Amino acid sequence: MVRPSTEQPCSIARSLEVVGARWTLLILREAFSGKTRFAEFREALGIAPDVLSERLSTLVEYGVLSKEPYQEPGTRARYSYHLTEAGRELWVVLGALQQWGDDHLPRPEGPTIERRSRNTHLPLRVGFVDPKGKEVDLDDVQMLRTAAYPTTT
Amino acid sequence: MVRPSTEQPCSIARSLEVVGARWTLLILREAFSGKTRFAEFREALGIAPDVLSERLSTLVEYGVLSKEPYQEPGTRARYSYHLTEAGRELWVVLGALQQWGDDHLPRPEGPTIERRSRNTHLPLRVGFVDPKGKEVDLDDVQMLRTAAYPTTT
């Protein structure tokens, strides 16, 4: 398999090659909620074992999850899956999807999960921030092409 | 079609029912770069027309894009597709995916797109912010289950 980083100039497209397949972001949601074992992911999601296995392999290959052996008495050795630092940074992606769903596809019961600061207990949103850690309004955000932007010939 | 908002308690899952299909986030990337017409999306992405048509319909159905008729002299009436306010708020999701790809799947040429403030020209990141607009470190973020969280019986 060719690593997507060599293929796609667009970093959105590269990210989607790792996390864009059906189920992958839901597998990561479960990883963030503390699940580590194949059977736990399978039970939480009702996902076919071959699909789960393929998705976990991709996430390990790209360094989103690390795979560690474990063994319970009287059983064969198995693997558990743990978010790496790179994986943990996908929290921003999941938080952004969660926020959009809560804002634009709300349910009468309200959100099932709240994002809060551990320190201040204030509710948190996902947004654009400048290097001083100050939020910037969506109207103030611009996307600029760099010299690395592909030119059509 | 049942609207996912009635089906999935998890807002991440609901968002993915709207934007999680293959191609959809790349179609939105093109919409953010100013494309509005079927032929423009098709040419930019090399996507099969029937897939593009289905994805655009879903985005219109969920209020991410609005569909507006236009007609050029001597041709039949066609539709163009425009980001709604709800659609525009998906910029946070795309920005988060872009940032993760730039951070964790970098290319030697560097990023093709930079996120900057229109006002200050400072580079922007996507992150968690509190109600005062102050960035909160990933280590300080917690996800808490609310009373609406589904219980297993």
Q: Considering only CB atoms, which chain A residues are within 8 Å of B120?
A: 130
Tell me the backbone φ, ψ of residue A64, rounded to 5 degrees: -85, -40
Domain ranges of chain A: 1-89, 90-141
Q: How many angstroms separate the CA of residue A54 from the nearest CA in chain B?
A: 17
Is residue A114 within 8 A of residue A107, CB to CB? The reply is no
Of A15, A88, A100, the CB nearest to B97: A15
Q: Which token pair is A34?
A: 């503390």
Q: How many angstroms separate the CA of residue B93 from the nearest CA in chain A?
A: 5
Instruction: Please check whether residue A94 touches B, CB under 8 A.
Output: yes
Instruction: Please check whether residue A145 touches B, CB under 8 A.
Output: yes
State the amino acid at position A73 in one-letter form. P
In percent, the amount of chain A with pLDDT more than 90 equals 92
Q: Considering only CB atoms, which chain A residues are within 8 Å of B107?
A: 5-6, 9, 148
Instruction: Please check whether residue B61 touches A, CB under 8 A.
Output: no
pLDDT in tens, A110-150: 999 999 999 999 999 999 999 999 999 999 999 999 999 98
A82: CB partners within 8 A, 6+ apart:
A31, A36, A65, A66, A68
pLDDT in tens for each of the 153 residues of chain B? 445 545 799 999 999 999 999 999 999 999 999 999 999 999 999 999 999 999 999 999 999 999 999 999 999 999 999 999 999 999 999 999 999 999 999 999 999 999 999 999 999 999 999 999 999 999 999 999 999 998 865
Q: Considering only CB atoms, which chain A residues are within 8 Å of B47?
A: none
> In this predicted structure, what is the pLDDT of residue B1?
43
Q: What is the CATH number assigned to the segment(s) A1-89?
A: 1.10.10.10
- pTM (predicted TM-score): 0.94
Contact A105 B5 (CB under 8 A): yes
ipTM: 0.94
CA B14 to CA A126: how far, in whole Å?
A: 17
Instruction: Please check whether residue A43 touches B, CB under 8 A.
Output: no
Instruction: Please check whether residue B141 touches A, CB under 8 A.
Output: yes
User: For domain B1-86, which CATH number applies: 3.10.180.10, 3.30.420.60, 1.10.10.10, 3.40.50.300?
Assistant: 1.10.10.10
Calculate the alpha carbon distances from B3 to B10, B63, B65 in Å. 14, 12, 16
Instruction: Please check whether residue B112 touches A, CB under 8 A.
Output: yes
